Structure 1
């Protein structure tokens, strides 16, 4: 007799491309642990893509259907759960993950509205799922029988006859008891897809940020996997990865602990042998900057961010956030920038409690004045399961929100041979007691300008010049934002579209849901005419208008310098040459990557590069005879560009994602002086 099936899914939307293009790591831990504990009695399967799950459900109804629940896949998962439950009422449905309230009353309301969920597992799903199965076995998998006895289940909450029943919260102290999903082959099938491998070396976070689901007290203790396991997983991944240059380390504070030095050394060893990973995504620690610097010095491709969210004391106090000291922050950024081709990053969130337009602008200025090369600017999102999303917190700070479709998470899915429309909704903060709703759009436009012109070394050479003459880069953006009359018609059109899409929001969750459920509108969502990530899309559109963008950048620099009486003739001359130089270097870097270009310049840009372009034009000599420079992509760049295009081609806003997540220093052309000069 065939063993009953337990299926575990971490679904991603695919109708607009692969929305979450990473390995299903979290679900695979639950899968591996459960299979180890109960594999003799049950058949376990792991799913990521909705079509695969739909095909399997047509053939077989499992005993239990489990879903990893996140803000970006909850509605898709619940659609599968409710339709499967309707088809097989005896099916047991389990959800687990951070997308669950912390307040008892809100937990009850959440589950009451979603009757297809039999059990919701909080915190670590491994313990919860095993305990659910073991306890259900005593009742012959009859859910109501178990619930009628108010059985307490580890890390699990459910409702029965208007009562909320929750088991004790427990974490795995030695996480090494969880079999590695890589080393056991559980994730092998996902190497054939354009997905980024993920690896976890620690669990937990000692910080308590109110906007983050990992800031809960129950997650404050940090547990670590053995270093040998991490080493073996890294090599396992490197041997099997195909056409993907990225690796995500899911640790919440990578680089902050002594043991991270060992991990960094293992990654560096793997890089030498396999030339992988070239890009490492990892959230760096919130303190211990010297250790973070040491870790960053060992590996290539990791730009540790100094995420501040805000530079304002009152905002930080409101969200229970502790940042690095200004001195430590500056030291970390300076170190990252000392490596040619690396980019330093800082996260800033718009609309947090106690925020204002002026405070947001000052946070942006703070990042630029401390030489951060990429400012990742986010809207404040009310994530279920965070303190900030609770009713009490909203009331305390007068938080005003709107609802919108989550970009890349809308589509039709064929489930049991019927087309189903599914979309995810997110709730964003547009105002609070201190932040005017009328200022929201102005801040978003500023964010777009900075994302386009400042981030990822787009015009980094210009900003190094400004820093050398003691001029704040932010003043250029303040001028640019306040003088739309100097925009080209094409740029005006793109920004007008951005403003329109930014305001495509709804007053309630139901209104937003009705919109993405409307058959007359859903095709527009799928085609990208509605509900896109407006900042990434607009940034991509502007990237393709390099000459117009370059004109606006240099006009804004010259005009803002002129306002402060700092635009000398030497600055004019240098900016004129630099503009032409950057056009050769950075215009259309993703096409004709085998083409070699050349041009003449009156400045020796090879020498200027040695100082990282940090030069004062007022003391820079002009050459008597111009030099000829070649511009080209080397072989390693050509391969990397092809890999990045393939990785993000499966996303609805592929170019926008590539610009956000790639290191453009690896994509912009190289240059060198011709040996034979005129």
Structure 2
């Protein structure tokens, strides 16, 4: 095959701290399959995931056209590598595409002028547009001028110093036109890398959330793969996923549609035969609670159920076009999820238009008291391609904009003899007219309190024993938050560090931050973890690894004080809570030390309420006895943790990522009675 008929598609991931994007490059795999199937002449497409493989692949195939994805987590890496290709092979045509692209034409033009290495940008879905562009390039013998003059669908480019924007291509109406990159064997090489398989059963989203790229009307058209296609892909993956046994379903609203029930049944069949997938990462759907629960049951509870409200403030919800999603249904999801053994979480976005300290804390109170296993308050990121990232929205809502480095998205790479220093920058809103920077910091610090003491039901025993006493979970959490100045020094230092890191990570100028990341000494600091960590995950991991004893002490001290303050007739509960604190600690302390086991004698039967999730201080006397309890990880728990440590590493940076990926409450040591009297 001639060199010009080799095409290279790149979806590069940063590798500075192990791996940043650990999923299969399914998107470019689909583009490759479509291009090879629908191009009017033979073409061979090659995929690249890892930056240090690029140079050798370019020299091996010498493609006339190279395509790059554009996501928030790899844009600078992609454009930097593209520039190296252009420097060495000036005639190579560089194409970019992906959702990290502004909706306003003035901003699209600025991006292309700031990055002249990009010859063409494809907006929206890429299959039809990329094929048309490639055929035009080939027909013109890769004449850029002629190709730019041709009105090709979805293409944005600069022609004779003028920005050109052609109408968007029609979207695919039948996803069967895209052959599976798994069934063709194209993805096989990535199973050997211990990456997480990624699939997509449904394209499109019916909602119009202003903070999301898919909130644009362009994405409202829903299309699905057939059940036969889905089964074939999943069975193929299950046969080969011997390492990473998790899967990412890249649907925007999985389990919201009737067809998703059939997909869940397929997964159930495969789970029974192979044990795959062990866990499913997915953005669960909205407005169909019963269907979502049915799907979760079918997959054995091996997925997170999301009740992501973003905000419950009426003004905020109106500003972000979120009023067509039932908040009540989302809030009711937590208890239902617990009944079927599924992990539940709720996402809240801080500093949305109209948000304030009071509005944010009111939302947090409602979602915490609803009982979700995990509550994740995110800072508002202004995603290029979303409505809120537009210049008009920033001005309308008087957003206080800052820039920060994406965690793990940086590194040092080689392109031949050239050393590449690169890192990714995200745009964040940290306030507005109604939220000062001090309010933002207070909200972020409460996020740390939530992460340390609430998420993953780290102290589920406390939550459940306070309920019968009429003490709300949020009140207990807030009592912890308010007493933080009297925390043990190790935890107090953790809070001080978190606050300082939260401030230090914010930059006022995007280009200054990009320049800072090009300095070798600075990049080394990011790679070592001195700079650039995910501030929340890092401090949580630090607490989990080194300070679980102190966390236990604080959590139980607050619970004890609240219980006695509101209920004077409990009798002597000191011994019960003291032993329960130890019981809790032995299940969770040094969680990643998989060979660590404990034997401990207790004078209360804690296993009975643990099994039923029914804790009641008023009935503590009924649990008295003599029990020798053994604490140890089960083999399946060890296997899951070891798999994730292989991917992300065993240092604090890696374990912070692991904590975000596993169902932590199912990783606590199993407690069993070895002897009872």
TM-score by length of 1: 0.96
- Is 1:83 aligned to 2:84, yes or no? yes
Q: From the superposition, tell whether residues 566 and 296 of structure 1 become closer, same or farther in structure 2 (CA, over 3 Å).
A: farther
- Is 1:343 aligned to 2:343, yes or no? yes
Shift in Å, 1:639: 2.1
Shift in Å, 1:573: 4.0
Give the secondary-structure state (helix, strand or coil) at the position aligned to 2:257: coil
Where does residue 23 of structure 2 map in the other structure?
22
Where does residue 311 of structure 2 map in the other structure?
310
- Is 1:581 aligned to 2:583, yes or no? yes
The within-5 A match list for 1:452-531 is 452-504=452-504, 505-531=506-532
Alpha-carbon distance in structure 2 between the residues aligned to 1:311 and 1:572: 39
Shift in Å, 1:136: 1.8
Alpha-carbon distance in structure 2 between the residues aligned to 1:288 and 1:310: 19
Alpha-carbon distance in structure 2 between the residues aligned to 1:535 and 1:649: 18
The within-5 A match list for 1:82-231 is 82-147=83-148, 149=149, 151-169=150-168, 170-231=170-231
Q: From the superposition, tell whether residues 330 and 383 of structure 1 become closer, same or farther in structure 2 (CA, over 3 Å).
A: closer
Q: From the superposition, tell whether residues 382 and 566 of structure 1 become closer, same or farther in structure 2 (CA, over 3 Å).
A: farther
Give the secondary-structure state (helix, strand or coil) at the position aligned to 2:191: helix
Where does residue 252 of structure 1 map in the other structure?
252
Shift in Å, 1:459: 1.2
Shift in Å, 1:194: 2.2
1:289-309 per-position Cα deviation (integer Å, ceiling 9, x unaligned): 111111111112112111111
1:356-399 per-position Cα deviation (integer Å, ceiling 9, x unaligned): 11111111111111111111221111111111000000111111
Give the secondary-structure state (helix, strand or coil) at the position aligned to 1:602: strand
- Is 1:537 aligned to 2:531, yes or no? no
Where does residue 32 of structure 1 map in the other structure?
33
1:459-494 per-position Cα deviation (integer Å, ceiling 9, x unaligned): 112112222322111122222222223211111222
The within-5 A match list for 1:405-424 is 405-424=405-424
Where does residue 2 of structure 2 map in the other structure?
2
1:179-238 per-position Cα deviation (integer Å, ceiling 9, x unaligned): 100001110000001211011100000001111111110110110001001001111001
Where does residue 72 of structure 2 map in the other structure?
71
Where does residue 554 of structure 1 map in the other structure?
556
Give the secondary-structure state (helix, strand or coil) at the position aligned to 1:46: strand
Q: Work out whether residues 352 and 380 of structure 1, in 8 Å CA contact, stay in contact via their aligned partners in 2.
A: yes
Give the secondary-structure state (helix, strand or coil) at the position aligned to 2:141: coil
Give the secondary-structure state (helix, strand or coil) at the position aligned to 1:621: helix
Alpha-carbon distance in structure 2 between the residues aligned to 1:225 and 1:421: 40
Alpha-carbon distance in structure 1 between the residues aligned to 2:652 and 2:196: 17
Q: From the superposition, tell whether residues 608 and 658 of structure 1 become closer, same or farther in structure 2 (CA, over 3 Å).
A: same
Where does residue 293 of structure 2 map in the other structure?
293
The within-5 A match list for 1:42-81 is 42-81=43-82
Q: Work out whether residues 19 and 651 of structure 1, in 8 Å CA contact, stay in contact via their aligned partners in 2.
A: no
Shift in Å, 1:636: 2.2
1:59-81 per-position Cα deviation (integer Å, ceiling 9, x unaligned): 45310010011000000000011
Shift in Å, 1:506: 0.9
Give the secondary-structure state (helix, strand or coil) at the position aligned to 2:29: helix
Q: Work out whether residues 256 and 291 of structure 1, in 8 Å CA contact, stay in contact via their aligned partners in 2.
A: yes
Alpha-carbon distance in structure 2 between the residues aligned to 1:624 and 1:231: 52
Q: Work out whether residues 121 and 128 of structure 1, in 8 Å CA contact, stay in contact via their aligned partners in 2.
A: yes
Give the secondary-structure state (helix, strand or coil) at the position aligned to 1:294: helix
Q: Work out whether residues 16 and 651 of structure 1, in 8 Å CA contact, stay in contact via their aligned partners in 2.
A: no
Shift in Å, 1:625: 2.9
Q: Work out whether residues 404 and 425 of structure 1, in 8 Å CA contact, stay in contact via their aligned partners in 2.
A: yes
- Is 1:401 aligned to 2:401, yes or no? yes
Give the secondary-structure state (helix, strand or coil) at the position aligned to 1:503: helix
Q: From the superposition, tell whether residues 581 and 120 of structure 1 become closer, same or farther in structure 2 (CA, over 3 Å).
A: same
Alpha-carbon distance in structure 2 between the residues aligned to 1:193 and 1:650: 17
Give the secondary-structure state (helix, strand or coil) at the position aligned to 1:423: strand
Shift in Å, 1:255: 0.5
Where does residue 669 of structure 2 map in the other structure?
669
Runs of 5+ consecutive residues of structure 2 not aligned to the other structure: none
Q: Work out whether residues 604 and 624 of structure 2, in 8 Å CA contact, stay in contact via their aligned partners in 1.
A: no
Alpha-carbon distance in structure 1 between the residues aligned to 2:660 and 2:299: 21
Alpha-carbon distance in structure 2 between the residues aligned to 1:514 and 1:493: 31
Residue range with higher mean Cα deviation, 289-298 or 603-612: 603-612
Where does residue 657 of structure 1 map in the other structure?
657
Runs of 5+ consecutive residues of structure 1 not aligned to the other structure: none
Q: From the superposition, tell whether residues 432 and 551 of structure 1 become closer, same or farther in structure 2 (CA, over 3 Å).
A: same
Alpha-carbon distance in structure 1 between the residues aligned to 2:40 and 2:461: 58
Where does residue 451 of structure 1 map in the other structure?
451
Query: Across the two proteins, how many residue pairs are aligned to each other?
Result: 672
Alpha-carbon distance in structure 2 between the residues aligned to 1:185 and 1:175: 19
Q: From the superposition, tell whether residues 567 and 510 of structure 1 become closer, same or farther in structure 2 (CA, over 3 Å).
A: farther
Alpha-carbon distance in structure 1 between the residues aligned to 2:611 and 2:416: 62
Alpha-carbon distance in structure 1 between the residues aligned to 2:351 and 2:406: 18
Where does residue 597 of structure 1 map in the other structure?
598
- Is 1:621 aligned to 2:621, yes or no? yes
Q: From the superposition, tell whether residues 469 and 339 of structure 1 become closer, same or farther in structure 2 (CA, over 3 Å).
A: farther
Alpha-carbon distance in structure 1 between the residues aligned to 2:262 and 2:118: 42
Residue range with higher mean Cα deviation, 647-656 or 186-195: 647-656
Give the secondary-structure state (helix, strand or coil) at the position aligned to 1:639: helix
Alpha-carbon distance in structure 1 between the residues aligned to 2:460 and 2:389: 38
Give the secondary-structure state (helix, strand or coil) at the position aligned to 1:609: helix
Residue range with higher mean Cα deviation, 166-175 or 218-227: 166-175
Alpha-carbon distance in structure 1 between the residues aligned to 2:327 and 2:107: 39
Alpha-carbon distance in structure 1 between the residues aligned to 2:179 and 2:162: 36
Where does residue 429 of structure 1 map in the other structure?
429
Alpha-carbon distance in structure 2 between the residues aligned to 1:118 and 1:444: 41
TM-score by length of 2: 0.96
Q: Work out whether residues 317 and 323 of structure 2, in 8 Å CA contact, stay in contact via their aligned partners in 1.
A: yes
The within-5 A match list for 1:230-241 is 230-241=230-241
Shift in Å, 1:650: 8.1
Q: Work out whether residues 343 and 457 of structure 1, in 8 Å CA contact, stay in contact via their aligned partners in 2.
A: no
Shift in Å, 1:562: 4.9
Shift in Å, 1:574: 3.2
Superposed CA RMSD? 1.9
Residue range with higher mean Cα deviation, 578-587 or 621-630: 621-630
Q: From the superposition, tell whether residues 567 and 101 of structure 1 become closer, same or farther in structure 2 (CA, over 3 Å).
A: farther
Alpha-carbon distance in structure 2 between the residues aligned to 1:511 and 1:272: 53
1:233-266 per-position Cα deviation (integer Å, ceiling 9, x unaligned): 1110010012212111111001111100100000
Alpha-carbon distance in structure 2 between the residues aligned to 1:569 and 1:431: 48
